[in-house]
Structure 1
């Protein structure tokens, strides 16, 4: 059964990403040019973020389009994991930018560079407006998709960077202290890196088919084992295909399974937000004896649910 809620959410995210990409791409050239003209590291770091923003938004939009493609003979889950690949690539790129900013800030703290505060201030204000609009567009979808969250973090980092550049430009103009600029650049990098690292870990967890964040596998196993007639649970696997789409497979050993056992398992899977569940019911001793499984209804039953 097609997940229409997911399709509508993907379409909405695609529209939001498309508008944000148009805004970011339009302003990108202006910020990069004036970043070099002004000589401001804070503005250059913000321009670097804007560049990665445009790439990240384009990649995220492409991933959503790819994820909407139907499953085929080679990819039975479809192309939904393209969103996670995009999120991981975006996070990796942003992490690299954050590290570069810290290194460059260290160099400029040792050897201050003159900064033109007027173009720095004007471009930062324009960048703030663009990033504010983009962030508001993406915030609603950032809680449901790692892909959209990665793009949102990119834009949010830029938004805060624009604020820092505005404050820095005013402070440098009033005090003449050139170390303010690299200090602000370093603060932007320090804000971005831990959040990017957390996103990268979440993306890699999905790619490694790890247990979804927040799901207690021991509790799930205990509840499955506590169902009527179940004496053992083995080969329990829980993983995500993409954001919010979790799967469960398990083998349940039962002497005399009650008629409603599969319905009970289905309800338990729904409780743990596992809408796609595949469960095999086995006779005692079948797993321990290492028998080869086949479709003999006297030995086991198999069920799969697609809500």
Structure 2
């Protein structure tokens, strides 16, 4: 395992310990201070802990090499973990909405001093974990999911501190319920976004940021390529993209077609970050140009493509 991977694993393990301790502290403080906002945030932190555990497990699992059964490897384990985690957060947010509504109708006195103190400590922990994850979340939907969770929780704990101060000054205990609505909304918003992204990967949709038309146009501009069709682009994981297509080229020697294949793969890797390709060439027989006439005054038949022996190139 690379040094970067070892550091990422250590960050995830440390984050799990910190978030679990914070969830326990907020649960106790929320029960003692009668703060639904703190209890809601404790629930959010607990799910964050589960998210981090899943992220750590998936991070370890997706690093496994391909085998004779999982020939693509285990890239999607992180995506699957992110999907399960985001799906679990939807009912949690709905439950928070329900409890917040009940507390809005029947507010309870809140001990604002302890509420602000615990929430302030929670903000420090959440912000620290979020920054650590952000440094390693680029290009990995699994780690980015964990970052979104902790960042949303950092925002909610900061809102609890501000809300506690307002309650202390005004005596409006309904603010605690309103803060719970805010936390529930943050959870639901982040979950829906992650569900959409992970479902697109699991259903082998077009990767985010890649245009099918742009890929086809770029390949067609390569000298020797006349047409591109039967194009499929999908993601093996959050940052590993694959593509298969048929490319029609002139009837040329194999050595020249190998050069075209090399240029196509270089283009896909550098411009579109597609590193795993399966490309089938089809040759066009054109002994007599289509725009010319054969003896007798009849135009030459239009060139007909014929499938050549597939030429494939795969990059892990």
**Does the CA-based 8 Å contact 1:250-1:279 persist in structure 2?**
yes
Instruction: Give, in whole Å, the separation in 2 of the partners of 1:12 and 1:237.
Output: 35
Q: Structure 1: state its 5+ residue gaps.
A: 294-298
RMSD between aligned residues: 2.2
Alignment of 1:244 onto 2:239: yes
After TM superposition, list the pairs within 5 Å mapping 1:126-275 onto structure 2: 126-257=121-252, 258-259=256-257, 260-270=259-269, 271-275=271-275
The offset of 1:220, in angstroms, is 0.8
TM-aligned CA deviation for residue 26 of structure 1 = 2.3
Structure number with larger C-alpha Rg: 2
Contact 1:56 1:90 in 2 (8 A): yes
Moved more, 229-238 or 46-55: 229-238
Q: Counterpart in 1 of 2:313?
A: 304
- Partner residue, 1:281: 281
1:95 aligns with 2:90: yes
SS in 2 for 1:242: coil
Equivalent position of 1:296 in the other structure: none
Paired residues of 2:23 and 2:43 also in contact (CA < 8 A): no
Matches within 5 A, 1:50-69: 50-69=45-64
Deviation at 1:202, TM superposition (A): 0.8
Distance 2:98 2:261 in 1: 57
Q: Which ranges of structure 2 fall in alignment gaps of 5 or more residues?
A: 286-303
2:249–2:283 Cα contact (<8 Å) kept: yes
- Aligned residues between the structures: 293
The TM-score normalised by the length of structure 1 is 0.88
Matched, 1:30 2:25: yes
CA contact (8 A) 2:248 2:305 kept: no
Q: What whole-Å deviation, never above 9, does each CA across 1:217-267 have from its counterpart, x for those lacking one?
A: 011112223333333322211111111111111111223244421122112
* Post-superposition offset of 1:284: 4.2
Aligned partner of 2:78 in structure 1 is 83
Matched, 1:106 2:101: yes
1:142 Cα deviation from its structure 2 partner: 2.2
